Structure 1
């Protein structure tokens, strides 16, 4: 029985390695070719794996890109997940400023991949839907932080926390794409500081 289990384990490990190989090759092909021109054949060739093997893992290049999007967006999401339990408006401002700065700096770090995602969002409805789901995840997390601040008497309780969260995320997203396209004016720190002041002055007591 143990031998059979070992065989399954080895097969699973081999399968994971193959998947990783394909994802790494896909990343390189996407960055060179762009979303539209990249083909799964190029990725398979670069990874040095069989056609059948590739299709066991992914249906096509859109599915591969979605996994790459998850990998990159996880880094952004880690920033949003920072513990938020301020006792004062100033504490809240400091946490929000540090999150906004880290979020926009990540846009600089991941610029080439984010440029690829932007191309794909404009071309593929399933990638656009994927981005919408990512956006919703962020809005939900921000909404929780606002609700916490309202419950603790730091933020204006009469405001709808979901609407405020959307406004804050869309501001971040607009600057994110400007940085990705290299169209931003001012430094990342300056943008983050300005956004944070406007946001916290409007929301907090």
Structure 2
């Protein structure tokens, strides 16, 4: 753990306990699903004292939200890739790469992402967290669209924030379809089709 050199033994132990609870939580959620998982099960798997989990997390929803942040890191890294294309071809290539990486990251965490989908429908806290994640992605996409509009690569008559929402929602829906195995698992094919549709309407 970075930045732990100045921590006391007690603080180090607390950090380790938290990590143990998160690790145990992931295992319990994967085994039982979100709705059937309990804090008692998580506490037991983490080998912590009775009720210790509640010292760190008010409930399983709060623990799961922290797990989600960890899971989403790889997707955030994709979203944060620099986007400064100089040509339409360069833009298409970068968007296709980002889309493929986004879908690939979700599929690499397919089992836990299936639990995320369940939890979004079962927990107001998790649903709110997912909406915050959506907003982060949409804001990033809006910035990218603003850039290509200002450089003359994209149509200036379109509302960047509306297009960003539509683009993310398309990616999100097909991500869930792939994760839940409701469409063919070829994420590269999915990405190519998505990007052709998106760029065909946005770019001049």
TM-score between both structures, scaled by the size of structure 1? 0.94
Deviation at 1:11, TM superposition (A): 1.4
Contact 2:43 2:51 in 1 (8 A): no
Aligned ranges 1:20-169 → 2 under 5 Å: 20-169=19-168
SS at match of 2:152: coil
Identify the residue that residue 16 of structure 1 maps to in structure 2.
15
Deviation at 1:51, TM superposition (A): 3.2
Deviation at 1:137, TM superposition (A): 0.7
Distance (Å, rounded) in 1 between the aligned partners of 2:19 and 2:147: 39
In structure 2, do the counterparts of structure 1 residues 7 and 159 end up closer, same or farther at CA, with 3 Å as the change threshold?
Answer: closer
Greater helix share, structure number:
1
Q: What are the Cα deviations for residues 176-197 of structure 1, in whole angstroms up to 9, with x where unaligned?
A: 0001111113621111001101
Distance (Å, rounded) in 2 between the aligned partners of 1:183 and 1:96: 24
TM-score between both structures, scaled by the size of structure 2? 0.94
Contact 2:148 2:154 in 1 (8 A): yes
Deviation at 1:157, TM superposition (A): 1.1
In structure 2, do the counterparts of structure 1 residues 7 and 161 end up closer, same or farther at CA, with 3 Å as the change threshold?
Answer: closer
Distance (Å, rounded) in 1 between the aligned partners of 2:73 and 2:107: 15
Deviation at 1:106, TM superposition (A): 1.3
Aligned ranges 1:179-194 → 2 under 5 Å: 179-185=178-184, 187-194=186-193
Contact 2:120 2:130 in 1 (8 A): yes
Q: What are the Cα deviations for residues 90-134 of structure 1, in whole angstroms up to 9, with x where unaligned?
A: 000000000001111112111101100111111111111111111
Root-mean-square deviation (Å): 1.4
Deviation at 1:75, TM superposition (A): 1.1
Distance (Å, rounded) in 2 between the aligned partners of 1:186 and 1:122: 23
- Report the number of matched residues: 200
- Runs (4+) off by over 6 Å: none
Identify the residue that residue 3 of structure 1 maps to in structure 2.
none
Identify the residue that residue 200 of structure 2 maps to in structure 1.
201
> Which residues of structure 2 form unaligned runs of 5+?
none
Query: Greater CA deviation, 6-15 or 95-104?
Result: 6-15
> Which residues of structure 1 form unaligned runs of 5+?
1-5
SS at match of 2:52: helix
